[in-house]
Copies of this chain bind each other. A is one copy, B any other.
Amino acid sequence: MSDTQDRFERLHVSPAYQMVAEAIEREIVSGRILPGEPIGTESELVRQFGVNRSTVREGIRVLEQNGLISRNSSRRLFACAPHHNRLASRMSRALVLQEVTFRELYETAMVLELAAVEQAAERATKKNIAELSENVAKSERVMDDPARIAELNSEFHALVAKASQNRVLQLAREPAGLLFFPTTEVICQKVAEGAVRIVEANRMMLKAIREGDKKAALLWMRRQVDDWRKGFERTGKRLDQAVDKSYLRAATR
| Residue pair B108, A111 in contact (C-beta under 8 Å) | no
Is A104 at the interface (CB under 8 A from chain B)? yes
Is A77 at the interface (CB under 8 A from chain B)? no
Residue of B nearest to A115 (CB): B111
Q: Taking A108-B166, A115-B108, A172-B108 as contacts, is the C-beta distance between A67 and B81 under 8 angstroms?
A: no
- A32 CB to closest chain B CB (Å) equals 11
A interface, size bucket = 35 or more
How many copies of this kind of chain does the complex include?
2
Is A46 at the interface (CB under 8 A from chain B)? no
Please give, as numbers and ranges, the residues of chain B lying within 8 Å of A17 by CB-CB distance: 61
Name the one of B64, B96, B105, B112 contacting A111, with C-beta atoms under 8 angstroms.
B112
Please give, as numbers and ranges, the residues of chain B lying within 8 Å of A119 by CB-CB distance: 107
| Bitwise interface map of A from 95 to 121 toward B, beta carbon under 8 Å scored 1, else 0 | 111101000110110011001000100
| Residue pair A169, B94 in contact (C-beta under 8 Å) | no
Q: Taking A107-B119, A248-B29 as contacts, is the C-beta distance between A95 and B171 under 8 angstroms?
A: yes
